[in-house]
Structure 1
Amino acid sequence: MAQVYTLNVLIDNAVLALHSKDSLCIAKKVNGVYDVVFQGAAPVPSGDQKLLLANNQFQWTEEYRVFLTQSFGNGVMISHSTTPVEISFGQVAIWKDGALQPAVTADTSTWDLVDGSSPDTTFAVESAPISLHAAVEQSTGGGQYSTIYVDPDIHMGDTRIELTPKNEYLVFWKKITTTEAMLAISTSVGHQWKFAPGKTIKTIRFGYATPEQPSSALEIPTWADEATWTLGPQHLRGGPPKHSSAQAAARHS
């Protein structure tokens, strides 16, 4: 059975009381970048979003599928142009006769394996048409999958596209209505994290330095890791939109 990974996201009720329309977004790093919202929650959920609460839980397993898509561009909805194919590390799915064929064990001795990747952490797609982009989706349990990456590049000739999912994630806020969309994602607007070695559960919090107690109308909520709840950068710009000092003061009067 595939390993289940769990992310718990705690949000101060004082933050939820701001009534922001932004969605909580989770992205997974693949090939060194974040370019798709993997899972998420919203105050008024749509599509496959969850309802945003004070305690939110997200789960996924280390099971992957690859497919090809014509979808590409910031904010573009991702659609499948081919049937997804299950794939494991060290395997390759080859485009032939108008479809991606079932993944097979690859001769990885010819692979590029850049940026510290290895056959134990990489799979590939070969011979995809120039008009289509390779994409990866990951299991979220119950037979469901969510896209984690779309290759942004156009590849000329008979190419091999190597795909390396990383145990690295980004949580951030953005006003979107679905998790199945490409985005130009900057790490500066969110909180990067990863599971500790041997761990499969992670808890992070978004709120004030003293939970539920903003020190003043000017304090900006931000991300904190568990353990010591040490807060991240105080000038995070990816959180719910700020209100004026007068509005904030009125809320706490």
Structure 2
Amino acid sequence: MSDNQYSLKVYISDESLTALKEYGYRLCIAKEVNGKYNVVFQGVNKLLFQNTFRFEDRYRVFGTNSFSDGALVEASTKKNPILGGQEITLSSAGVFGPASGPVNPAAGFTVHNQYTDPIHFGVDALIGSEYSSIYVAEKPVLSGDVFLTPKKKLLVWFEQNLETDMMISRAITNSIRVSSYLSLLWDFNRLTENASPLYLQLDFTTTSDITINYTAPKDAPAKGVWSYGPLVVLGQTYHPETNTFSLTPAILPTAEELVQLTKLLQLEPPSQSGGRLAITNGDAQGKN
């Protein structure tokens, strides 16, 4: 995978997946531009157990007449391809020229704005094989240079009534960074008491692949646990003679029970040394 390509894999537990769809939640992804996350890059309701998103730092720049919270982005100019490090000019007639200059994927790009009426500049980014909007300037600008700096940083969360290309003006305050491989809700009270969505911050600056998973109580699908890595299979036993795994579903905790168990035990986050929490059924203890 090249330096400007990266992928996100999201696992969702079966109980959580059922509840999220029942309550009409979408998996929302936003991408940072100029220090803000103000457009829903992806709002996905067709979710499965495993969901993969592939991003590439290829952009399009455009102008629009308005920024409106809750509205879908609607370009007023043509959308023009541009890469990091390049520059482009919007003429006094409102027409973009071609992008030019050396490419630097780690840098932003510059719009030389010669248009004299107020205009909001926006940015699209490539996901999979299609472009979606990632940013619209909330305030219009007049003629002059405009600098747009997308970052390899994403917000991920679940919310109702949002969809791809929708503008949002809220301040992002309820956010966390999952810094350990397994983060079993040691801040459960904070999640359940705060009514706003919990935003998970992901940084692809030094990596090209991130895998996360999500588990939530069935009656509160948006108040769940974000963890790094694929979903852990609990009570799983390895049989070397047959090279197979087995588990007993009847005795395994449900997603809701796991969350409640974590709350009752007041689990601390794993140490930075990389230790993991192992949960097995009673029959598997002491067996090789």
Q: TM-score higher than 0.5 here?
A: yes
- The SS at the match of 1:191 is strand
The one-letter amino acid of 1:148's match is I
Q: Structure 1 residues 135 and 5 mapped into 2: Cα distance closer, same or farther (>3 Å)? A: same
Residue 149 (structure 2) pairs with residue 164 (structure 1) = yes
Alignment-mate amino acid for residue 203 of structure 2:
K
Of 133, 150, 153, the match for 1:147 = 133
Please, which of 206, 212, 226 is the counterpart of residue 204 of structure 1? 212
Structure 1 stretches of 5 or more lacking a match? 43-50, 107-117, 209-213, 230-247
Which whole-Å CA distance do the structure 1 matches of 2:83 and 2:231 have between them?
36
- Alignment deviations for residues 176-216 of structure 1 (CA, whole Å, 9 cap, x no partner): 3530110124241311111261x2111111115xxxxx6x9
Q: CA deviation at 1:12?
A: 1.2
- After TM superposition, give the deviation of residue 5 of structure 1 in Å: 1.6
For residues 168-187 of structure 1, the aligned pairs below 5 Å read: 168-176=153-161, 178-185=163-170, 186-187=172-173
Match of 1:95 among 90, 93, 105: 90
Contact 2:213–2:231 (CA<8 Å) still a contact in 1?
Answer: no
1:121 aligns with 2:107: yes
Secondary structure, aligned partner of 2:133: strand
**Aligned-partner Cα distance in 2 for 1:134–1:223:** 34
The 3-state SS of whatever aligns with 2:15 is: helix
Q: Following the alignment from structure 1 to structure 2, what is the Cα–Cα distance between the partners of residues 187 and 28? A: 16
Pick closer, same or farther for the CA change 1:227–1:175 going to 2, 3 Å: closer
Q: Using structure 2 for the length normalisation, give the TM-score.
A: 0.63
| Residues 30-54 of structure 1: CA deviation (Å, up to 9, x unaligned) | 1001001112311xxxxxxxx1122
Instruction: Give the deviation of 1:146 after TM superposition.
Output: 0.7
Shift of the alpha carbon at 1:140? Answer: 1.8
User: Whole-Å Cα distance in 1 between the matches of residues 82 and 31 of structure 2?
Assistant: 18
Supply the distance in 2 between the matched residues of 1:139 and 1:218 (Cα, whole angstroms). Answer: 32
- Structure 1 position 227, deviation (Å): 8.2
Q: Trace 1:1-253 onto structure 2 (pairs within 5 A).
A: 3-18=4-19, 19-42=22-45, 51-96=46-91, 97-105=93-101, 120-127=106-113, 128-142=115-129, 144-156=130-142, 158-176=143-161, 178-185=163-170, 186-188=172-174, 189-195=198-204, 197=206, 199-208=207-216, 220-226=223-229
How many residue pairs end up in the alignment?
203
Contact 1:170/1:187 (8 A) holds in 2: no
TM-score by length of 1: 0.71
Distance 1:204 1:196, change over 3 A: farther
Shift of 1:218: 8.5
| Mapped partners of 1:89, 1:218: distance in 2 | 41
Query: How far apart are the structure 1 equivalents of 2:168 and 2:147?
Result: 21
